[in-house]
Amino acid sequence: MEQSNAAIIQDPGIPQFTLLITTKNRRADLKITLSKINHLLLRKEVLCIICDDGSTDDSSLFIENEYPEIQLIKNEKSRGLIYSRNRLLALVRTDFAISLDDDAHFLTDSPLSAIRDYFNKHPRCGLIALRIFWGLEPPESLISGEIPLRVRSFVGCAHVWRMSAWNLIPNYPEWFVFYGEEDFAAFQLFKKDVEVHYLPQVLVQHRVDIKSRIKNKDYRLRLRRSLRSGWYLYLLFYPVHRIPGIIVYSIWSQIKTKLFKGDWRTIFTIVGATCDVFVNSVRIFLNRNGLSSKEFDEFSKLPQTKIYWKPQIDNNQE
């Protein structure tokens, strides 16, 4: 990472950040997001690229009419989130790339300066994971007592790449389809001795009702993809002697927490994920980049990925 060895000096006339957003048939969410970050889009140091993944709800037309300054790329047919993220990152020419979901926006007033300053102070950091609040309404308090620290991985809905770090590793694996690509990148960065850091000073609201997802029609498919992506990652990166045990444990966890509680459809989830592994076995073999036992122990000691943030409730205020 040649750029990481020197502080990046701000020149307001030269773009330093590229905002990347993928979207598909969520024009209403995208409209909210762009209105919330419009003040950033007006800054000369910021570019924005949106990938429309085969939308049929006139999302592209909305962008072209309302935000002509945004670079718009289109997948004529839907190719998936991971494909779209790879395509967006290939177009970035700035020092940093901020990736946001189309239903996520900043709550922090000045995120860019905080991000740039942190990268300057931590040259080994190749990716910043942001503090994320999951909810349809903003939190009552934005204050956090957390401190920045190195972590294992990051959440896809809001993170920032130092592009010199992204260019060191393979693209996200498009055959994962959905889920797991962040951990894939985190393992690859670890193998390159590049760090992932959590920066709680920058807060993002991910406008999602987590409880309602369970009722969605695609919930079973999401579970299958989540389970198989975990197995993909074990087979790609874990020391060989640890793989059988961790896969057996993951299957037992599904049986104990779901099947034994009456959710018989868990059987189809496990069988489907197993079939997915067999279908992609050649890809897994060709892309394996396993950690040594020492590397695995070092990685395991890192703090867990910061996925959900909840504001602390002050019991003295009622």
Distance between the two ends of the chain, CA-based, in angstroms? 50
CA distances from 237 to 234, 243, 247, 275, 280 (A): 6, 9, 13, 20, 15
User: How do the pLDDT tens digits run along the chain, 318 residues long?
Assistant: 544 444 555 565 689 999 999 999 999 999 999 999 999 999 999 999 999 999 999 999 999 999 999 999 999 999 999 999 999 999 999 999 999 999 999 999 999 999 999 999 999 999 999 999 999 999 999 999 999 999 999 999 999 999 999 999 999 999 999 899 999 999 999 999 999 999 999 999 999 987 776 666 677 888 899 999 999 999 999 999 999 999 999 999 999 999 999 989 899 999 999 999 999 999 999 999 999 999 999 999 999 999 999 997 654 443
Burial pattern 100-119, b for ≥16 Cβ within 10 A else e, equals bbbbbbbbbeebbebbbebb
Q: Which amino acid is at 179?
A: Y
Cα(234)–Cα(253) distance, integer angstroms: 16
Positive/negative CA dihedral, 118, 119, 121, 122:
positive
Residue ranges with strand state E in 194-286: 195-206
CATH 3.40.50.300 at 2-211, yes or no = no
Start-end of CATH 3.90.550.10 domains in the chain: 2-211
